[in-house]
C-alpha cells in the first residue's frame, strides 16, 4: 500500500515528511490533505453511475484463460455480464449438456476451455454497427462469433494451417473479412513449405461462418493484426523473422517486421488460380504471385502491437524490445522502392512498448510494460521530428499489457476514456489465492494530461477490450423473440409422442409458473428429445429446465425454443424444475419425468 501511494504522485511520502517537519508547515499539510480529498471526490463523481442509470460505455473484455468475454460498464467498472464462448455455462444452458448444439460445437472444434485475447466488433462505414463480436482462442486455433442481438456465441471454427490463433482484426470499413494469424510456426501439410518445414499463415475469414476464404503464407510467425481503413491492407507484426524455435534464436536479429498484405492483389491471385489447396483452404505463397501481395517493412525489435490510426494514415508497430514505435505511412507502401522508405517516424517512447491506441485528436497512447506507464505522444510532432512529441506519462499498477481508448479502433474515437489492462496488481488487493487478481485502470484522457480515475480487478487475464456506446447497443439487443422459431411449441400443444420402439419426443411450453406437462413417462433406455418453448412475451422473463440426476439444464429467453436429446438410462422419478426465479410460484414450477424400469 505504501508503495502504491508512494508512486501516486508522492502523497504519502510528502505527507509523512511534512508531519515530521515544524509546526509552521502544518498549514501546508492541511491544505494538501484537503486538496487530496477534493481530488478523490472528483474522481468518485466521474466514475459513479447513479442507481438505475446506464453506464455510458459497454466494454467487451477478453476473459483470458476463462474462455469467455466479460462485459463491463464504463466509467463505473461494474461487471455486467460474462458471455461464455469456449467454456460451458450452466446458467445459460451453454455447452453443459452433451446433446446440445453449443456442446457439439465445442466438442467438434477442440476443447471445453480457451485462451481468449482479442475481442473485435463488426463495422459499417468504419464505425461499430452492434451486430457481431469475434474472439480468438489462442490455445486451440479457433475463432468464435458472438451475436450481439442475444449476447450469445453462435459460431466457432477451427482455422487450418496455423497454430496459436493470436492477432485478429476486422477489415475496415465494412467488415469484408476477419483476419487472424498463427503465432506459432508449425508444419503445413502437402509439402507447400519444403525444405523449410515450418510456417504460418494469415487467414482471411468469412465474417459469418467464420471459416477461411483464403490464407497467405507468412515469413516467420505473425503476432498482432490490424487493417487499413479503406479495406486494402491487412497488417501484422512479425517478431520471429529469424524463424527460430528457441527464445535465443527469436531475438537474434535487431529488426523484424510489419507485414502488409495487399488485399486486392491477394484476391486477384486467388482469381488467377495462383494458390495451392491445403487442408481444404486456398493458400497463396506470396513468392509465387504475378502481382506483389506481401510487403515487409523492417521494424525493431520483436515488435508487438500493430495499430492503424483512426484517419487511416499510419500503421504503427510497438517495439517491445526496442523503446520505439515505428510509424509507417500506408499510402507510400506500394509506391516506394524499398518498404523501409515508407517509415514516417520512429519516436522513442519508453521501455517495453506493447500496444498503441488513439484519441482521434492526433495523439497516440502507448502501453509500456517495463516502465509500467501509459505514455501520451503527439503523432504529427513525432513525424515532423519535433523533439517535444511526448505530451504526458501516467504510472500504472502494474505492468500494463494492452491498452485501448474508447472507440479507438473505429474512424471516430470518442477520446474521453482509456482502459489500461494490467498484468499485475501486487498489493492493491487482498491476497485472494495463490495469485493476486489482475488489475485494470480507467484513465480520463479528455484533457491535455491524463488523469487516473479508478482501478478494478479482472479475471485472469485481461488482454484486450473493445467498447460500444450503451445508446448504440441498446436498440440492437433483442429481448423477446418476435418471430417464433420453426420448431416452437404453442400454448396447448404440450405432449409426448413415441416416435420409435426406443425413442420418444416431448414437446413442452414454459410460462409463469408451470411447464406444459406436470409429468411425462418414458421407458428405461429410451432416447428422449425434449423441445421446450418459453412462451412468455414479457422482456427478461426467463425460464430454465433442470433435470435432476441427468445433468441437464436448458435456459430460455422469452420466445425462445431449445431442444435437448439424452438417454433415460436410470429408472425412477426425476424432478425437473425451473432454474430462473420467475415468479412468486417459481419454486412450484416443476414436474416429474417417470422412467419405467425395463421389468416394470
Residues that bind ligand CUA (CB under 6 A): 543, 578, 580-582, 586, 589
In angstroms, what is the minimal distance from the CB of 237 to ligand K7E?
Answer: 10
In angstroms, what is the minimal distance from the CB of 251 to Ca ion?
Answer: 5
In angstroms, what is the minimal distance from the CB of 563 to ligand K7E?
Answer: 36
Distance of alpha carbon 115 from alpha carbon 161, whole angstroms:
19
Residue 117 or residue 282: which is nearer to ligand K7E going by CB?
Answer: 117
Query: Which triple of cell numbers denotes residue 291?
Result: 502481382
H/E stretch holding 7 reads: helix 2-7
Q: What are phi and psi of 225, to 5 degrees?
A: -115, 155
Q: Following DSSP, what letter does each residue of 120-137 receive, concatenated? A: EEEEETTEEEEEEEEEEE
Q: Which residue in 301, 324, 317 sits closest to 250, CA to CA?
A: 301
Single residue of 89, 105, 117, 145 touching ligand K7E by CB under 6 A: 117
- Is-cis flag, bond preceding 173, omega within 30? yes
Relative orientation angle of helices 11-20 and 26-47, to the nearest 10 degrees: 160
Q: Classify 250 as helix, strand or coil.
A: helix
Residue 282 within binding range of ligand K7E, rule CB under 6 A = no
- Is-cis flag, bond preceding 295, omega within 30? no
User: In this structure, are residues 546 and 579 in contact, taking their beta carbons and an 8 Å threshold?
Assistant: yes
State how far the alpha carbon of 212 is from the alpha carbons of 85, 216, 518, in Å: 20, 11, 48
Query: Which of the listed partners (ligand CUA, Ca ion, ligand K7E, none) does 302 bind, with a CB threshold of 5 to 8 Å by partner kind?
Result: Ca ion
In angstroms, what is the minimal distance from the CB of 11 to ligand K7E?
Answer: 30
Query: Which triple of cell numbers denotes residue 347?
Result: 519516436
Residue 401 within binding range of ligand K7E, rule CB under 6 A = yes
Residue nearest to ligand K7E (CB): 401
Residue 381 within binding range of ligand K7E, rule CB under 6 A = no
Residue 342 or residue 506: which is nearer to ligand CUA going by CB?
Answer: 506
User: In this structure, are residues 323 and 344 in contact, taking their beta carbons and an 8 Å threshold?
Assistant: no
User: In this structure, are residues 271 and 330 in contact, taking their beta carbons and an 8 Å threshold?
Assistant: no
Residue 169 or residue 582: which is nearer to ligand K7E going by CB?
Answer: 169
Residue 75 or residue 219: which is nearer to Ca ion going by CB?
Answer: 219
| Residue whose entry in the numeric block shows the C-alpha cell 470518442 | 414
| Residue whose entry in the numeric block shows the C-alpha cell 494514415 | 313
In angstroms, what is the minimal distance from the CB of 416 to ligand CUA?
Answer: 41
Query: Which of the listed partners (ligand K7E, Ca ion, ligand CUA, none) does 320 bind, with a CB threshold of 5 to 8 Å by partner kind?
Result: none
User: In this structure, are residues 12 and 2 in contact, taking their beta carbons and an 8 Å threshold?
Assistant: yes
Single residue of 354, 473, 528, 554 touching ligand K7E by CB under 6 A: 354
Residue 218 or residue 578: which is nearer to ligand K7E going by CB?
Answer: 218
Which residues partner with 508 through β-bridges?
532
In angstroms, what is the minimal distance from the CB of 267 to ligand K7E?
Answer: 27
Other beta carbons less than 10 A from residue 354's beta carbon? 21
Query: Which triple of cell numbers denotes residue 174?
Result: 465494412
Residue 117 or residue 376: which is nearer to ligand K7E going by CB?
Answer: 117
Residue 302 or residue 560: which is nearer to ligand K7E going by CB?
Answer: 302
Residue 359 within binding range of ligand K7E, rule CB under 6 A = no
Residue 137 or residue 256: which is nearer to Ca ion going by CB?
Answer: 256
Query: Which of the listed partners (ligand K7E, ligand CUA, Ca ion, none) does 117 bind, with a CB threshold of 5 to 8 Å by partner kind?
Result: ligand K7E
Query: Which of the listed partners (ligand K7E, ligand CUA, Ca ion, none) does 586 bind, with a CB threshold of 5 to 8 Å by partner kind?
Result: ligand CUA
Query: Which of the listed partners (Ca ion, ligand CUA, ligand K7E, none) does 256 bind, with a CB threshold of 5 to 8 Å by partner kind?
Result: Ca ion
Rounded to a whole number of angstroms, the distance between the first and last alpha carbons of the chain is: 69
User: In this structure, are residues 155 and 128 in contact, taking their beta carbons and an 8 Å threshold?
Assistant: no
In angstroms, what is the minimal distance from the CB of 123 to ligand K7E?
Answer: 19
In angstroms, what is the minimal distance from the CB of 551 to ligand CUA?
Answer: 19
Residue 105 within binding range of ligand K7E, rule CB under 6 A = no
Residue 100 or residue 200: which is nearer to ligand K7E going by CB?
Answer: 200
Query: Which of the listed partners (Ca ion, ligand K7E, ligand CUA, none) does 578 bind, with a CB threshold of 5 to 8 Å by partner kind?
Result: ligand CUA
Q: What are phi and psi of 496, to 5 degrees?
A: -125, 135
3-state helix, strand, coil in the chain (%, to 5): 15, 40, 40
Q: Which parts of 59-88 interact with ligand K7E (CB under 6 A)? A: none
Distance of alpha carbon 21 from alpha carbon 19, whole angstroms:
5
Residue 464 within binding range of ligand K7E, rule CB under 6 A = yes
In angstroms, what is the minimal distance from the CB of 597 to ligand K7E?
Answer: 54
H/E stretch holding 61 reads: strand 57-62
In angstroms, what is the minimal distance from the CB of 547 to ligand CUA?
Answer: 14
Residue 235 or residue 580: which is nearer to ligand CUA going by CB?
Answer: 580
Distance of alpha carbon 384 from alpha carbon 143, whole angstroms:
40
Residue 302 or residue 366: which is nearer to Ca ion going by CB?
Answer: 302
Query: Which of the listed partners (ligand K7E, ligand CUA, Ca ion, none) does 464 bind, with a CB threshold of 5 to 8 Å by partner kind?
Result: ligand K7E
Residue 118 within binding range of ligand K7E, rule CB under 6 A = yes
Query: Which of the listed partners (ligand CUA, ligand K7E, Ca ion, none) does 118 bind, with a CB threshold of 5 to 8 Å by partner kind?
Result: ligand K7E
In angstroms, what is the minimal distance from the CB of 568 to ligand CUA?
Answer: 23
Query: Which of the listed partners (ligand CUA, ligand K7E, Ca ion, none) does 401 bind, with a CB threshold of 5 to 8 Å by partner kind?
Result: ligand K7E
Q: Which residues contact 578 (CB under 8 A, 6 or more apart)?
A: 510, 513, 515, 543, 544, 545, 546, 586, 589, 590
Residue 118 or residue 282: which is nearer to ligand K7E going by CB?
Answer: 118
Eight-state DSSP code of residue 138: G
State how far the alpha carbon of 172 is from the alpha carbons of 74, 176, 357, 546, in Å: 25, 7, 16, 43
Query: Which of the listed partners (ligand CUA, ligand K7E, Ca ion, none) does 354 bind, with a CB threshold of 5 to 8 Å by partner kind?
Result: ligand K7E
How many CA atoms lie less than 13 Å away from 481 in the CB half-sphere?
17
Q: Classify 94 as helix, strand or coil.
A: strand
Residue 473 or residue 552: which is nearer to ligand CUA going by CB?
Answer: 552
Residue ranges that bind ligand K7E, judged by CB under 6 A: 117-118, 166, 304, 354-355, 401-402, 463-464
Amino acid at each position: 500500500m505504501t508503495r502504491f501511494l508512494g508512486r501516486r504522485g508522492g502523497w504519502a511520502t510528502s505527507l509523512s515528511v511534512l508531519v515530521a517537519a515544524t509546526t509552521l508547515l502544518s498549514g501546508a499539510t492541511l491544505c494538501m490533505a484537503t486538496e487530496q480529498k477534493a481530488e478523490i471526490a472528483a474522481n468518485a463523481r466521474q466514475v459513479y453511475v447513479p442507481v438505475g442509470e446506464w453506464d455510458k460505455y459497454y466494454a467487451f473484455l477478453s476473459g483470458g484463460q476463462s474462455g469467455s468475454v466479460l462485459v463491463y460498464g464504463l466509467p463505473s467498472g461494474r461487471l455486467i455480464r460474462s458471455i461464455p464462448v469456449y467454456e460451458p455455462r450452466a446458467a445459460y444452458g451453454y455447452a453443459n449438456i452433451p446433446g446440445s448444439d453449443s456442446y457439439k460445437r465445442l466438442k467438434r472444434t477442440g476443447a471445453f476451455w480457451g485462451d481468449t485475447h482479442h475481442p473485435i466488433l463488426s463495422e459499417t462505414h468504419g464505425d461499430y454497427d452492434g451486430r457481431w463480436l469475434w474472439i480468438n482462442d489462442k490455445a486451440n486455433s479457433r475463432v468464435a462469433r458472438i451475436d450481439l442481438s442475444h449476447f450469445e456465441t453462435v459460431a466457432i471454427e477451427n482455422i487450418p494451417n496455423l497454430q496459436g490463433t493470436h492477432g485478429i482484426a476486422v477489415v475496415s470499413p465494412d467488415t469484408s473479412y476477419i483476419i487472424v494469424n498463427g503465432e506459432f510456426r508449425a508444419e503445413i501439410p502437402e509439402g507447400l513449405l519444403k525444405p523449410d518445414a515450418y510456417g504460418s499463415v494469415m487467414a482471411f475469414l468469412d465474417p459469418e461462418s467464420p471459416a477461411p476464404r483464403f490464407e497467405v503464407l507468412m515469413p516467420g510467425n505473425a503476432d498482432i493484426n490490424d487493417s487499413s481503413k479503406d479495406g486494402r491492407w491487412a497488417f501484422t507484426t512479425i517478431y520471429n523473422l529469424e524463424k527460430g524455435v528457441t527464445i535465443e534464436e527469436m531475438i537474434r536479429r535487431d529488426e523484424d517486421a510489419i507485414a502488409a498484405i495487399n488485399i486486392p492483389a491477394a484476391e486477384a491471385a486467388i482469381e488467377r488460380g495462383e494458390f495451392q489447396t491445403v487442408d481444404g483452404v486456398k493458400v497463396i505463397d506470396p513468392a509465387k504471385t504475378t502481382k506483389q501481395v506481401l510487403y515487409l517493412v523492417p521494424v525493431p525489435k520483436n515488435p508487438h502491437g500493430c495499430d492503424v490510426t483512426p484517419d487511416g494514415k499510419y500503421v504503427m508497430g510497438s517495439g517491445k524490445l526496442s523503446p520505439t514505435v515505428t510509424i509507417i505511412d500506408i499510402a507510400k507502401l506500394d509506391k516506394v522502392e524499398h518498404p523501409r522508405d515508407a517509415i514516417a517516424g520512429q519516436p522513442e517512447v519508453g521501455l517495453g512498448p506493447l500496444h498503441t491506441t488513439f484519441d482521434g485528436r492526433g495523439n497516440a497512447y502507448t502501453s509500456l510494460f517495463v516502465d509500467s506507464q501509459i505514455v501520451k505522444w503527439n503523432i504529427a510532432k513525432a513525424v515532423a521530428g519535433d523533439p517535444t512529441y511526448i505530451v504526458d506519462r501516467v504510472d500504472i499498477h502494474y505492468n500494463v499489457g494492452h491498452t485501448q481508448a474508447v472507440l479507438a479502433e473505429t474512424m471516430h474515437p470518442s477520446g474521453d476514456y482509456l482502459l489500461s489492462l494490467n498484468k499485475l496488481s501486487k498489493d492493491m488487493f487482498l491476497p485472494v489465492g495463490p495469485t493476486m487478481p489482475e488489475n485494470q485502470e480507467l484513465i480520463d484522457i479528455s484533457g491535455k494530461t491524463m488523469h487516473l480515475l479508478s482501478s478494478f480487478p479482472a479475471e485472469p487475464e485481461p488482454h484486450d477490450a473493445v467498447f460500444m456506446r450503451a445508446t448504440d447497443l441498446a436498440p440492437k439487443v433483442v429481448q423477446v423473440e418476435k418471430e417464433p422459431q420453426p420448431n416452437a411449441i404453442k400454448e396447448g400443444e404440450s405432449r409426448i409422442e413415441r416416435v420409435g420402439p426406443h425413442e420418444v419426443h416431448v414437446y413442452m411450453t414454459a410460462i409463469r409458473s408451470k411447464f406444459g406437462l406436470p409429468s411425462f413417462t418414458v421407458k428405461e433406455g429410451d432416447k428422449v428429445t425434449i423441445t421446450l418453448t418459453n412462451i412468455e412475451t414479457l422482456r427478461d422473463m426467463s425460464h430454465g429446465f433442470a433435470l435432476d440426476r441427468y445433468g441437464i439444464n436448458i435456459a430460455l429467453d422469452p420466445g425462445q425454443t431449445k431442444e435437448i436429446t439424452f438417454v433415460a438410462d436410470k429408472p425412477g422419478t426425476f424432478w425437473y424444475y425451473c432454474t430462473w426465479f420467475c415468479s412468486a410460484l417459481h419454486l412450484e414450477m416443476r414436474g416429474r419425468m417417470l422412467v419405467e424400469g425395463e421389468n416394470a
